[in-house]
Amino acid sequence: MKHGFLFEEKKWKVKGTYTDENGKKTKVTGATIIKHNFFNWVIEAELFVPLKGNKTLDLRNVYKVKPMKKGDVETTWTSENKIIGKFTGRFFIAGNIIFSSYYSKNKEYVGYETLEYMGAGRYNGYGKLFYKDKMNSSWKIEMW
């Protein structure tokens, strides 16, 4: 299986549902841009969560991914989030699934995300972020 996500420089459109720590579901949109350079692959991911009063919460993460060589099925990454800090994680590939697990520098935040290739250049994504063993947020998205 040849994945497009991670391996191709591209701007992905994102839409889906974001659930906060209180269980409130909100429709969201966003974008993910993947760039490759000699030292790493950079993923700039943004999710726009509508708030009251025409305001928007911009959830933005910038990932630096260790490039994968042909035949590799896993790699490491780090990210910066202006709200909750630095994260370290891994991408694992199994068939049509890209799985990621991660944790914050102080290990108070842990989470995972699963991206499933659906064909025709589309992925479905599912993820959860936990803070001190309680769900902080979850999301279900589609990317194309």
The string of pLDDT tens digits covering residues 47-102 is: 999 988 888 988 999 999 999 988 899 999 999 888 889 999 999 999 999 999 99
The string of pLDDT tens digits covering residues 19-37 is: 999 999 999 999 999 999 9
What's the CA gap between 81 and 7, in Å, rounded?
23
CATH H-level superfamily of 10-143? Calycin beta-barrel core domain (2.40.128.20)
E-strand ranges in the chain read 10-20, 25-36, 41-50, 56-65, 74-81, 85-94, 97-104, 109-119, 122-131, 134-143
3-class SS of residue 21:
coil
Do 52 and 31 form a contact (C-beta atoms < 8 A)?
no
Q: Stretch 90-116: mean pLDDT, rounded?
A: 97
The string of pLDDT tens digits covering residues 80-91 is: 888 889 999 999
The pTM of the full predicted model, rounded to 2 decimals, is 0.92
